[in-house]
Structure 1
């Protein structure tokens, strides 16, 4: 059975990575993380645009998710074309060449406490 589950455009508005973390690195570093599931039979090339409250958007972050695979990556690790600043609110839009399913999660370890959260990104019904 051919599987093309998901959407080609996803967004999430609630990004924020605290500047301070506590605990052992890298496991206990505060982070935002994205998980992408590609059920299609072709690789999904993902273009990410980051939006801010007080500066221009930054586009050009690229991720590839192989066909019928899952890939997780930390927003903290997106450094090209520009590192995501810590302690700043941001949002993101992901545009994919193939339908994918996207989950966004957060780990906060500031002030010696641990907080975890996960949420589905918002799937956009209109493909470009």
Structure 2
């Protein structure tokens, strides 16, 4: 899908998120109520998106890149908790994310916090640039 006013694919090729921190504790059944941070990637274009995700920590550690792909005209939801190789991100530590894609995509960040019985979810669109 393209933006009809410019015939260009929607989205950006580089995205930044500054407020990551996967909650350590969870309440409720697994896997649906496990606390998590998640990136949602929309590829509305006609070409496969090849994406790298890199995590930056407050103490200077860098983890990644984690390779991801999103088929054309599809969406992919990836939990930060589920990233393993090259490094399983620790829970409860502040981090930021940089995502880089070969084609324009749209990125949304979501947190599900189930540390208490009154669950909370927040979501925001990342900062994007070319």
Same fold (TM over 0.5): yes
Deviations 1:29-57 (A, max 9, x none): 00001111101111000001100001321
- Looking at structure 2, the residues matched to 105 and 115 of structure 1 have their Cα atoms a distance apart, in angstroms, of 11
CA RMSD of aligned residues (A): 1.3
Which residues of structure 1 form unaligned runs of 5+? none
2:59 to 54, 58, 62: 54
Q: Which residue of 1 aligns with 2:124?
A: 119
Which residues of structure 2 form unaligned runs of 5+? 3-7
Q: Which residue of 2 aligns with 1:68?
A: 73
Q: Which residue of 2 aligns with 1:20?
A: 25
| Matched position secondary structure for 1:76 | helix
- Looking at structure 1, the residues matched to 24 and 38 of structure 2 have their Cα atoms a distance apart, in angstroms, of 16
Q: Which residue of 2 aligns with 1:35?
A: 40
- Looking at structure 1, the residues matched to 120 and 33 of structure 2 have their Cα atoms a distance apart, in angstroms, of 10
The TM-score, its normalising length taken from structure 1, stands at 0.92
Q: Which residue of 2 aligns with 1:107?
A: 112
| Matched position secondary structure for 2:109 | strand
Alignment length (residue pairs): 125
The TM-score, its normalising length taken from structure 2, stands at 0.91
Q: Which residue of 2 aligns with 1:45?
A: 50
